[in-house]
């Protein structure tokens, strides 16, 4: 018998010391599978601790599947589980052209879920749109069992994904999808977010509302947000004005186009504000919304200084702009212009994409293609 005494000065809880001692005795072979371990009364005597301490130690062994408590008979060491399928699953995550942090939160959600299932995980990515097909094929050649795809903005590889579908190769598109390919996808309820933010601005008394994206306007997530904006306007009897979809104000901030020094973003924003005279804006994501808030602050400061210096020309247009934003995180500084927020969790999206992919790989879900729609949290700030 190898009873390791409980050390009263040890910072570890006494029940854990007993658990560690019994675990060592089982692993050393003192107690073989099928053997009864000593009764609680004997263990209390052996370790010189209370019965509650022994019970808590046995609870841990039972949690680990090492013992089987049989009422009225005793406690027995269980047989170790047999390895029926030692082959680990392998999955890949392809991330298309991006310089923003949000897609990497989606990646982290997928990684964390893969770790829970002991899945081998590979990451592929490229800033070159044309390389998407090559990287996906490369991942398949390495022997992966399935792929999560955060697609490049312009979806140039429709034929590749049709080929994967024809070959029953599991893949899931995340955040955005090719509208011409009926694939598994996990996306946010972008249309609902656009609708709810716009409706809230209307309820606050605004009837001239502009919506502002960055360069990516063809992806389904952006188009669905604009669609929600349009539907909210029409539902409240406000005409949808294409001129209030500002596609060019922040286009250069998220693309390969050079930013003109003679036309910084605050100048472009002010030009559109003075031309179209909106009283509220909907920001498509964190990056554009943060830039809007920074530019509004700069414009207001310059206007105030011009009034102080007596150089103001025409300040008849009030800059009391309300902003409703879609974002993957809270803004670091409170700003009175920000009145509503639709929060999207990239981690949740990535986790659900991984769950769906694993069900497809394991064939526990063999139904039709799934479109998993994750709602955003709507926060009204005033």
pLDDT at 27: 86
Q: Domain 190-344: what homologous superfamily?
A: Response regulator (3.40.50.2300)
Burial class (CB in 10 A: 0-12, 13-18, 19+), 174: buried
Q: What is the pLDDT of residues 13-40, one digit of tens each?
A: 999 999 999 988 888 888 899 999 999 9
Q: How far apart are CA 93 and CA 74, in angstroms?
A: 49
Lowest-confidence region among 252-266, 341-355, 368-382 = 252-266
Q: What confidence category does residue 84 fall into, taking pLDDT thresholds of 50, 70 and 90? A: very low
As given in the structure block, the two tokens for residue 249 are 């104000």
Q: What is the pLDDT of residues 130-165, one digit of tens each?
A: 677 888 888 888 889 999 999 877 666 888 899 999
In CATH, the number for domain 90-188+347-375 is 3.40.50.2300
| DSSP structural state of residue 87 | P
Rounded to two decimals, what is the model's pTM?
0.75
Q: Given the DSSP bridges, would you call strands 322-327 and 338-343 parallel, antiparallel or unpaired? A: parallel
Residue with more model confidence, 308 or 62: 62
As given in the structure block, the two tokens for residue 122 are 């590979």
Hey, what CATH topology would domain 14-77 get? Arc Repressor Mutant, subunit A (1.10.10)
Question: Which sequence spans correspond to the domains of the chain?
Answer: 14-77, 90-188+347-375, 190-344
Contact yes or no for 168/354 (Cβ under 8 A): no
Residue 195 has pLDDT above 70, yes or no: yes
| CA-based end-to-end distance of the chain | 70
- Phi/psi class of residue 155: alpha, beta or left (left: φ > 0; alpha: ψ in -120 to 50)? left
Contact yes or no for 184/370 (Cβ under 8 A): yes
Contact yes or no for 197/340 (Cβ under 8 A): yes
Q: How far apart are CA 91 and CA 242, in angstroms?
A: 42
Task: Lay out the sheet containing 377-380: strands in order across.
Answer: 209-212, 280-283, 322-327, 338-343, 377-380
Within this chain, domains 14-77 and 190-344 share the same CATH topology: no
Q: What average pLDDT is seen over the chain?
A: 88
DSSP codes, 22-62: HHHHHHTTSS-TTPBPPPHHHHHHHHT--HHHHHHHHHHHH
Q: Among 52, 13, 12, 19, which residue's Cα sits nearest to residue 37?
A: 19
Q: What confidence category does residue 64 fall into, taking pLDDT thresholds of 50, 70 and 90? A: confident
């Amino acid at each position: 018998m190898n009873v390791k005494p409980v050390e009263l000065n040890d910072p570890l809880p006494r029940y854990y010391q007993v658990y560690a001692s019994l675990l060592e005795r089982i692993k050393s072979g003192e107690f073989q599978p099928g053997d009864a371990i000593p009764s609680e009364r004997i263990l209390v005597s052996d370790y010189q601790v209370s019965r509650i301490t022994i019970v808590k130690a046995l609870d841990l062994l039972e949690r680990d599947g090492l013992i089987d408590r049989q009422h009225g008979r005793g406690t027995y060491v269980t047989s170790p589980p047999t390895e029926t399928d030692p082959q680990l699953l392998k999955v890949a995550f392809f991330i298309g052209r991006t310089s923003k942090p949000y897609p990497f939160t989606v990646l982290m959600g997928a990684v964390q879920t893969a770790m829970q299932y002991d899945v081998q995980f590979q990451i592929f990515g490229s800033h070159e749109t044309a390389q998407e097909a090559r990287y996906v094929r490369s991942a398949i050649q390495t022997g992966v069992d399935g792929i999560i795809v955060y697609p490049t903005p312009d979806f140039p590889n429709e034929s590749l994904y049709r080929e994967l579908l024809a070959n029953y190769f599991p893949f899931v598109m995340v955040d955005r999808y090719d509208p011409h390919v009926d694939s598994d996808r996990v996306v946010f309820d972008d249309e609902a977010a656009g609708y709810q933010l716009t409706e809230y601005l209307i309820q606050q008394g605004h009837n001239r509302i502009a919506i502002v994206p960055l360069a990516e306007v063809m992806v389904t997530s952006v188009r669905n947000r604009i669609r929600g904006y349009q539907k909210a306007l029409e539902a409240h009897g406000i005409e949808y004005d294409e001129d209030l979809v500002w596609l060019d104000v922040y286009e250069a901030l998220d693309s390969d186009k050079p930013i003109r020094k003679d036309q910084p973003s605050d100048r472009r924003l002010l030009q559109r504000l003075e031309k179209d005279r909106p009283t509220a804006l909907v920001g498509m994501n964190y990056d554009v919304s943060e830039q809007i808030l920074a530019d509004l602050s700069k414009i207001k400061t310059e206007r105030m200084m011009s009034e102080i210096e007596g150089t103001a020309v025409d300040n008849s247009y009030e800059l009391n702009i309300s902003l409703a934003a879609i974002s993957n995180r809270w803004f670091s500084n409170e700003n009175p212009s920000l009145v509503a927020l639709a929060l999207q969790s990239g981690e949740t999206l990535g986790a659900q994409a991984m769950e769906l992919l694993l069900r497809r790989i394991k064939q526990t879900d063999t139904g039709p293609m799934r479109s998993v729609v994750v709602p955003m949290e709507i926060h009204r700030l005033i």
